[in-house]
Structure 1
C-alpha cells in the first residue's frame, strides 16, 4: 500500500516534467543531422545492403542529390521494391538494383566483373550490409558468417573495385561499423569460431575488423585521392536483430529511444558527401557530433600489428579469397 502511494506520488510530482522532457530526450538519441547541400550529379554510388534500413535511407538521400545509385542486394525482390520506391519518390531514374551475396565469393566476383564492365566510374562505395547475432553458420567459402559477410565480403568487394575508385578520384570508401568494436577483439587462434562461438562476440569481432581495415586501407591509399572512413550509425530500429528473439523484443520495448533508419543513415550520408571531408581519411565518425575519432585507436592498431600483420594470410583467409 505504501509503495503504491509512493509510486502515485512520484508520478504526480515528476510525471509532468517527464512529459515535457520527452521530446528533448528523443532528440538527443536521434543524433546530429547531415546539413551538407552537396549535389552528386554525374557521380556513381554503390551501396551494399541497400534494400532496407539505413542502407535504403542512404540510397534515397544520395539519389535525391542526383547520383547514379546502385543498390547491391542479396534479396533481389526486396531490392527491386526499394529501387522502384526510390525512383518514384526522387524522380531519379538512375537507381538500379544488382544482385550481390556477400556470403559467397563467387557472387562477389561476378558482381564486380559485371560492375566494371557496365560502370566506367565509381566515386562512392558504401560498405553497409551486415548480419548480427546470427546462429553459428559458415559462408559458402567456409568463413564464420559474421566475419565472412561483415568484413571479408566487403574486403574482397573493395579490393576488386579499388582500381576503378582510383581512376574516379576523388573518391570515397565508407565502412559502416559499430561501437560494438569496443567490446571485441580479433581471435586469431579461433578466427572461424570453431572452438568457441557466441553470437554477440562474433559480431563484435567483425566490427573490430571493419575498423582496422579502414585504418590500414587509408594508410595504403594515401596520395591516391581515395579516402576511407568508418562510422557508428547509432542504435537503430532495423532488421539486424531479426536473428535474436530476445534482442528483437528489447528493441521493440525501447523503440522510442532508438533511431529511425533515416536518422541512423545521417552519419553514412555525412561521410559520403560532406565537403569538409574531401581529404579526411582513416577516421571514425559517430552520430553525436559527426566527427569523433576512436579513442586510443592508434594504440590498438599497433597492438594488432604486433600480433600479426593485418593482411597476412591468417589461417589461409586471404588465399581462400583468391587474393593472397
Structure 2
C-alpha cells in the first residue's frame, strides 16, 4: 500500500461505477480515474449544466471515456427512490457504488422531507440509495459500496434527541454527526453483509484535509474565510485526497469493513493506508439503533438476503 497512486489502479474494463456528487471535487476525480482505466461510469449530479460540463472535461482528457450523466437530488428522498428504480428498470449493472456526495457546514436548512440537510444528504440519502441498489450490486463484478467519511467523524455523535437541530444547531457538530453516521453505517453494513454471506464489500474512506469546493460551498462568514485559508496553506490537493476512495473502490486486496485514509500525521495528508474509526463508531448497539432509525425515516429496508440464499 506504500505510496499507492492512480498509476496502481488495475484495469477496470467491464465494471460499472456509480459515483454520487460526480460533477466536481473528489467525485469528479474518482470518475475521471476509473474512466481512464476503462470503467463505465454513471456520474450523478443535481445540476444538469454542471454535470454536462464535468462529462465534457473528462472526455477532453479521456476521449474514449465511457461516462454518462444521471441527475440525482440527494436532498429529496423521493428523487433518490425514483433514481434507483430507473437503474433497476433499465437493467443498468452497478459493480461499485461510491457514496461520495456531501454537504459541509451550511447554515441550518432542511431537505425536501424535513431532515437536517447534512444528515439528510450525507447519510439518509446514501443509506436509501445503497439499500435500494443492494440486490443489483450483489450481482456485480467484485461488488463494493464505498462510503466517504471524514476524520471529523471522531467528533461526532447522533443527536437522537434533536436530530434536525431545531433546539440547538452547530454547523461543525452536525457535519460531524453526518460523518459519524456514515461510519456507523459503513461498518454495520459490513457486519450485516458478512452475516448472510453477501458478496458485496462495504468499505469506508476519508480524504484527510483535501482542498475541494466542498469547504467553500457550504460554510459562510468567518468559517468560509477560515476554510479558504486552510485550503490554500494547510490542505493537501484533491488529487491526493481522492486516492483513498479510489484505493477502496479498485484495489483487489481490500477487505469488507476496512477504513482507508491518509498515512500522514493526524490522517490529514498522505497516501492511502488502513486507519481506525473512533471506538464509538464501532458500537454495535448504536449502529443498530441508527440502522433502524434510518429504515424508519427513509421507509427503505435493505434486503441483504439470507445465508441460504447466498450459498444456494
**Which category describes the TM-score, using the shorter chain as reference length?**
0.7 to 0.9
Aligned to 1:149, which of 110, 118, 121? 121
Counterpart Cα distance in 2 of 1:252 and 1:91:
33
How do 1:43-62 residues align onto structure 2 when only pairs under 5 Å count?
43-62=15-34
Q: Which runs of 5+ in 2 are unaligned?
A: 264-270, 302-312
Corresponding residue for residue 248 of structure 1 = 224
1:283 aligns with 2:258: yes
Counterpart Cα distance in 2 of 1:115 and 1:228:
20
Aligned to 1:232, which of 194, 206, 230? 206
Corresponding residue for residue 75 of structure 1 = 47
Displacement of 1:318 after TM fit? 2.7
Corresponding residue for residue 300 of structure 2 = 323
Aligned to 1:309, which of 258, 265, 289? 289
Displacement of 1:252 after TM fit? 2.9
CA contact (8 A) 2:27 2:100 kept: yes
Structure 1 runs of 4+ with >6 Å offset: none
Displacement of 1:208 after TM fit? 0.4
Question: TM-score w.r.t. structure 2 length?
Answer: 0.86
CA contact (8 A) 2:187 2:282 kept: no
Displacement of 1:248 after TM fit? 2.9
Displacement of 1:322 after TM fit? 2.0
1:274 aligns with 2:274: no
TM-align CA RMSD: 1.9
CA contact (8 A) 1:166 1:225 kept: yes
How do 1:1-324 residues align onto structure 2 when only pairs under 5 Å count?
33-222=5-194, 223-241=197-215, 242-244=217-219, 245-254=221-230, 255-277=232-254, 280-288=255-263, 290-294=272-276, 297=279, 300-302=282-284, 304=286, 309-312=289-292, 314=293, 317-323=294-300
Name the CA shift for 1:226/1:262 in 2 (closer, same or farther; >3 Å): same
CA contact (8 A) 1:237 1:251 kept: no
1:54-101 Cα deviation digits (max 9, x unpaired): 110111000000000011111111111001111221123420011100
Name the CA shift for 1:296/1:178 in 2 (closer, same or farther; >3 Å): closer
Corresponding residue for residue 307 of structure 2 = none
Displacement of 1:293 after TM fit? 3.3
Counterpart Cα distance in 1 of 2:103 and 2:277:
25
Displacement of 1:192 after TM fit? 1.4
Question: TM-score w.r.t. structure 1 length?
Answer: 0.83
CA contact (8 A) 2:6 2:33 kept: no
Counterpart Cα distance in 1 of 2:227 and 2:61:
29
Counterpart Cα distance in 2 of 1:142 and 1:77:
27
Counterpart Cα distance in 1 of 2:59 and 2:7:
23
Report the count of equivalent residues.
287
Give the number of the structure whose alpha-carbon radius of gyration is greater: 1
Corresponding residue for residue 309 of structure 2 = none
Q: Which runs of 5+ in 1 are unaligned?
A: 1-30
Name the CA shift for 1:36/1:132 in 2 (closer, same or farther; >3 Å): same
What SS does the aligned partner of 2:173 have?
Answer: helix
